[in-house]
Amino acid sequence: MKTISTAKSHDGVQGVYSHASEACAGDMTFAVFVPPQAKHGPCPVVWYLSGLTCTHQNVMDKGEYRRLAAELGLIIVCPDTSPRGENVPDEKDNWQFGCGAGFYLDATQEPFAKNYRMYSYIAEELPALIAREFPADMKRQAIFGHSMGGHGALTIALKHPDRFKSCSAFAPIVHPMVAGWSKPALEKYLGADETSWRAYDAVALIEGGKSFPEFLVDQGKADTFLDDGLRPWLLDDACKAAGIPLTLRMQEGYDHSYFFISTFMNDHLRWHAERLAK
């Protein structure tokens, strides 16, 4: 692991790091905020997964999480959304696919299968590095994210309910198999057989029997992607049918931006901290 930068913030440390990833076959960059409580022992870990076109930088600059994370004693890990580099296959004119749009899955189709393995990266490789390099209590982990990252958080939590004590999301893509801005990406990464897509779709996973103790979702009513890409009511229907408690808060006047995310960031951090303390 290489340190790109560190800065003191709220008596903790905001760092940016890189490492050679086997899962993604190239260098990956991520951000970690370590709170002041880490001086006295390991702290719980909260994973934040970013959305389409984003990197770790977006939430680091606009998410406004550090003050409360320092108060609550939470390590915040912010990975990138996809592999990047000159040799990584991409569609530069398509913001819904390729670099910046890894969809937190393991691609099986060429030429993407070598690099686009964000599920394995987030679920296995990066946690091992965090456990090794940071004062992290890996027995207390939570996960949340925005949009494509909300999709990633929900699916990863559903597949690892023993690992994560809580999961929440801002404006998640809840049913990417049928959403206009994600279905083409799933086909390019995973092939035409839609049965393989179900492993990376929160609604499909719940319908297939996967479960989680509870979810918190915030969604802006003024989000221009609400009807075509997000459709949180589909997650609500699936959770009700499966008996999974879901707190779905439709927020009047809020859009898809980090103005929305930063407004409700503290609510989510407090919600995770309560569950990580149990």
- What are the residues whose beta carbons fall under 8 Å from the beta carbon of 1, sequence distance 6 or more? 17, 18, 19, 129, 133
Active site residue: 56, 146, 256, 272, which one?
256
SS3 212: coil
| Rounded CA separation 263/273 (Å) | 17
Catalytic residue among 21, 50, 82, 147: 147
Torsion-angle region of residue 56: left (phi > 0), alpha (psi -120 to 50) or beta?
alpha
- Residue 147 among the catalytic residues: yes
Per the structure block, which two tokens stand in for 202?
Answer: 């929160």
Are 114 and 65 spatial neighbours (Cβ–Cβ below 8 Å)? no
Q: Examine the residue annotation and report whether 256 is marked as an active-site residue of this protein.
A: yes
Nearest to 57 by CA among 18, 106, 23: 18
Mapped onto helix, strand or coil, the DSSP state of residue 80 is coil
Contact 135/38 with Cβ under 8 angstroms?
yes
Would you state the structure tokens that stand for residue 145, as one six-digit string?
């994210």
Identify whether 9 is a catalytic site residue.
no
Residue 97 and residue 121: Cα distance in Å, rounded?
Answer: 18
- Which residue type is seen at 252? E
Residue among 242, 247, 241 nearest 272 (CA): 247
Alpha-carbon span 16 to 2, nearest angstrom: 9
- Burial of residue 92, with CB atoms counted within 10 A of its CB: 0-12 exposed, 13-18 middle, 19 or more buried: exposed
- Residue 202: what residue type? A
Q: What is the DSSP letter of 87?
A: T
Active site residues: 147, 223, 256
